[in-house]
Amino acid sequence: MCVTKFISMKPLQLFSLLISACLLVSSCDFIRSLAGKPTSTDIELLKLEKEMAFQKKKAVQDSINAAQAEAERLLSEQQQNSTFSSQYYLALGGFKVTENALKYKEQLEKEGYSIILIRFKNGYDMLLGGGADTYKEAQAQLNDFIENAKNCPYDIWIYDTSTNLHE
């Protein structure tokens, strides 16, 4: 009797019953794909992509941190080794970012200048060049540097070490 009842159902009811059975039997991924939503595989791939991007960003930041630590170490080492042999120096640049100071120092040294890198108490790294025992000698060095340097900074000035602005 049960079988005859099943066969005698209206076609719409039979179709609805088959659709319901298919939906119950099939996975959520099938339904999500029909709806245009990401499936569990797509979601897993997105998670992996995000993790890889995070790891890449972390590696870049670690590299930057290592470079900054190395620059700080070099600056500290140079400051410990440097003593002033003169009272007056040409202040060729002040830098908040140590890497920039090191790049400019390298450039000036390639041009043949002897450069000292020191840290001022305000946190800036200063590049000093020349070296004179009198202000008049330092002024002559300043004029010579302005006339002959390939990349003369616009804000060059004479630093008197007795002011103790440096650390």
> What does the pLDDT look like over 118-144, one tens digit per residue?
998 899 999 999 899 999 999 999 898
Mean pLDDT for 144-159 is 83
| CATH classification code of 83-163 | 3.30.70.1070
Domain range summary for the chain, segments of one domain joined by +: 28-81, 83-163
CA distance 129 to 108: 9
What pTM was computed for the model?
0.52
Could you tell me if 130 and 90 are in contact, meaning their C-beta atoms sit under 8 angstroms apart? yes
- Residue-wise pLDDT tens digits, 36-76: 788 888 888 889 999 999 999 999 999 888 888 888 777 76
- Residue-wise pLDDT tens digits, 13-39: 767 766 776 666 556 777 777 777 888
Using alpha carbons, select from 109, 117, 129, 132 the residue that is nearest to residue 166: 117
- Residue-wise pLDDT tens digits, 73-126: 777 666 555 567 888 999 998 999 999 999 999 998 898 888 989 998 899 999
Using alpha carbons, select from 107, 111, 116 the residue that is nearest to residue 75: 116
Could you tell me if 104 and 141 are in contact, meaning their C-beta atoms sit under 8 angstroms apart? no
